[in-house]
Amino acid sequence: MDFGSTEEDKLIRDNAREFVQKYVIPKRDSFSYTKKIPDEIIQRAADAGFIGFTVSEKYGGAGGTVSQMAAIVEELARGDVSMALPVYVLLLNGWPSMLEKYGSEEAKQEILPSIVKGKTYFGIGSTEPSGGSDVMNEKSNATKKGKVWSVSGEKVYISGVREALNLPGGGGFLTLLRTGEKSLASKAFTSFALMIKGTDGKLRKEISTTLFDNIAREGLSTGGFSFSNLDLDDIYRVGEIGQGFHIIMEGFNIARIYVAAACNGAALEALDMGREHLRTRILFDQPLGKQEGLQFELSELYGKLESSRLLTQKAAWTLDRVYKNKERVPLSEQNLAVSLAKMTGPPTAHDIITKVMIWHGAMAYTKDLPLGAAQGGVMSYYIGAEGGINIMKLIIARELLGKEFLNYKSG
C-alpha cells in the first residue's frame, strides 16, 4: 500500500486549504447555524473545480481520483465543521460518477456539465418510509410503457431536496425503483436519474416535495419527494434493467469514503481548537494542558484520529486501484476497506468533538463556538446517512465470516 502523495495530490489539497482560508472560515458563522449555504460559496466551490471534480474532462470536470476528492472534502470540513458544505460537495462527486459510468449519453450531456458549473444538484434517492437499509422491501416502482417508464413512489430523508428546487439548473437524484417481482431479489431494481426540476428550470408537476427540520447540518437540506404516474423517458435509466441495486451499492462505496473523510476533517479542526485551548486557557494559575490527565486524553484522541484517517486513505487507495488503475480488486476487498472507514470516521469524530467541548466548558454550549454545529453534523453520519454504523459492522462481519456461513442472500 502506497499512500504517498504526488505533487498533483499536494497541489489539490493546498488549493482546497487556501479556498477554505479565503472563503469559508470568514463566513463560517453565516452557515454553521443557519439554513442555507451561501450561494456565493457554492458558486466559488464550482469555480474552484470542487463540484464534479471526479467527472471526466469530456463533461467539464477534472477527472480527479477518489483519493484526491477525499482530500478536498477533508479540507472543506475543516472550514465548515457543520458538514453542510463538504457533504454538498461530496454528494455532487459521488453520485454524478455513477451517472457518468452507467447513464445514457443523452442524460450525461444534459446533466453533468450543469452539475460541474454549480447550476444543478444531483444526489442519491434511495431511502423510503420503511427505512434506508431495508432496500429489498422498497416499494417505489417503474413500469415500462414503450419508450417511457411510468414511475410512482416516495423517497424520504433525502439530502438536497431544497437545493434541487432552488438551483437555476434544477436537480434530481439517482433513484432506485422496483422493476421486477420480489422473487428476483436484488435484480428486481433499476436505477434512474429522476429530476424533480429539470436543467431547464421547469418543475415536474407530478412530483411533490417536503422538507424536514434538521437538528443540525442545517445548511444542507433534508427532505423527501413523492411521484405518481410520472412519465420518465428511457434515456434517464441509469444502467441495465435489474442492475440498479448493484449500481446504488457501488455508489455508496464511493460516497462512504468521502463521508469518512469529511468526519475526519471536522475532527481535525476540533482537535486543533482543543490543542489551542489547552495551551492558552489558564486555570488554577496554569494552562489546562499542564494537567497530565488532559495530556493523556489528547494523545489518545490524536491516535484514534490518525487511525481513522489511515483507514479512509486505504479505502480511497483501494477504489483508485479499481477506477484509476483498472485493477480487478475483489468486491469483498472493496467492501471491507470502505466499511471500516465509514464505521470508524463518524464515531471517532463525534467522540473527539464531544471531548473538546468538555475541555472548553460552558463556552462550548453556545453558538459562539462552532463545536456544537460540528457535533450535530457528524451525528448525521453516525446514525444513518450513507449507511449506519451497525450496517457497516454487518458488512464487515459478512466479508470476514463469509456469506455462506451467515446464510446471506445477496440475490
Whether residues 126 and 219 fall in one domain:
yes
Tell me, rounded to whole angstroms, the distance of Cα 358 from its chain centroid: 28
Q: How far separated are the first and last CA of the chain, in Å rounded?
A: 33
The answer to whether residues 86 and 158 belong to one domain is no
At residue 212, the pLDDT reads 93
**pLDDT for the residue 293:** 95
230 with 186, same domain? yes
Considering the domain boundaries, does residue 96 fall inside one? yes
What pTM did the predictor assign?
0.94
State the pLDDT at residue 409. 57
* CB-based burial label for 281 (10 Å; 0-12, 13-18, 19+): middle
Question: What mean pLDDT, rounded, does the chain reach?
Answer: 93
pLDDT at 239: 97
Which cell goes with 111? 446533466
- Three-state DSSP class for residue 233: strand
Chain position carrying cell 427540520 = 213
Q: What are phi and psi of 248, to 5 degrees?
A: -60, -45
Same structural domain for residues 393 and 266? Answer: yes
Residue type at position 256: R
Per-residue pLDDT at 408: 60
| 311 domain-assigned | yes
Per-residue model confidence (pLDDT) at position 405: 83
Determine the Cα–Cα distance for residues 38 and 278; give it in Å rounded to an integer. Answer: 33
Are 257 and 399 members of one domain?
yes
Amino acid at the residue 95: W
Q: Domain end: 66, 85, 116, which one? A: 116
Residues of the chain where predicted confidence (pLDDT) is lower than 50: 411
Does some domain include residue 230? yes
The closest of 65, 12, 73 to 259, measured between CA atoms, is 73
Based on the structure, what is the number of domains in the chain? 3
**Residue 2 domain-assigned (yes or no):** no
3-46 pLDDT tens trace: 678 899 999 999 999 999 999 999 887 777 877 898 999 999 99
Give the domain range for residue 307: 244-406
pLDDT tens, residue by residue, 197-221: 999 988 888 999 999 998 888 899 9
- pLDDT at site 384: 77
- The tally of CA atoms less than 13 A away on the side-chain side of residue 377 is 37
Distance CA 386, CA 383 (A): 9
DSSP three-state, residue 392: helix
The residues facing 171 across adjacent strands are 121, 197
- In a shared domain, residues 216 and 272: no
For 300-342, the pLDDT digits (tens) are 999 999 999 999 999 999 999 999 999 999 999 999 999 999 9
In a domain, 173, yes or no: yes
For residues 110 and 221, membership in a common domain is answered with: no
Same domain for 250 and 371, yes or no, is yes
158 in helix, strand or coil?
A: strand
